[in-house]
Amino acid sequence: QQAIVIKKMVADLNMDAEIVILPTVREPDGLAISSRNIYLNPKERKTAVVLYQALCLAQELWSQGETNAQTIRHHMTDLIQKEPLATIDYVSVANAETLDELDIVKPPALVSMAVKIGSTRLIDNGVLE
Q: pLDDT tens, 5-27?
A: 787 788 788 889 887 777 889 99
Length of the chain: 129
Alpha-carbon gap, residue 19 to 129, rounded angstroms: 20
User: Mean pLDDT, to the nearest integer, of 72-96?
Assistant: 98
Angle at 55 between CA 38 and CA 73, to 5 degrees: 115
**How many CB atoms sit inside 10 A of residue 38's CB?**
8
Query: How high is the pLDDT of residue 128?
Result: 96
User: Mean pLDDT, to the nearest integer, of 47-55?
Assistant: 99
- In degrees and rounded to multiples of 5, residue 16 shows phi and psi of -85, 75
Tens digits of residue pLDDT in 26-50: 999 999 999 999 999 999 999 999 9
- In degrees and rounded to multiples of 5, residue 87 shows phi and psi of -125, 120
Nearest CA-CA partner of 47 in 19, 77, 85, 11: 85
Cross-strand pairs, 91: 113
Q: Residue 2 — pLDDT band, cuts 50, 70, 90?
A: low
Query: How high is the pLDDT of residue 19?
Result: 79
Q: Kindly list the distances between the CA atom of residue 104 and the CA atoms of 26, 45, 66, 129, in Å, as whole numbers in the listed order.
A: 29, 33, 9, 13
* Lowest mean pLDDT segment, chosen from 7-11, 78-82, 124-128: 7-11
Cross-strand pairs, 123: 114
Query: How high is the pLDDT of residue 79?
Result: 99
* Structural domains in the chain plus CATH codes: 26-128 (3.30.1300.10)
Query: How high is the pLDDT of residue 5?
Result: 74
Mean pLDDT across the chain: 94
User: Mean pLDDT, to the nearest integer, of 98-105?
Assistant: 96
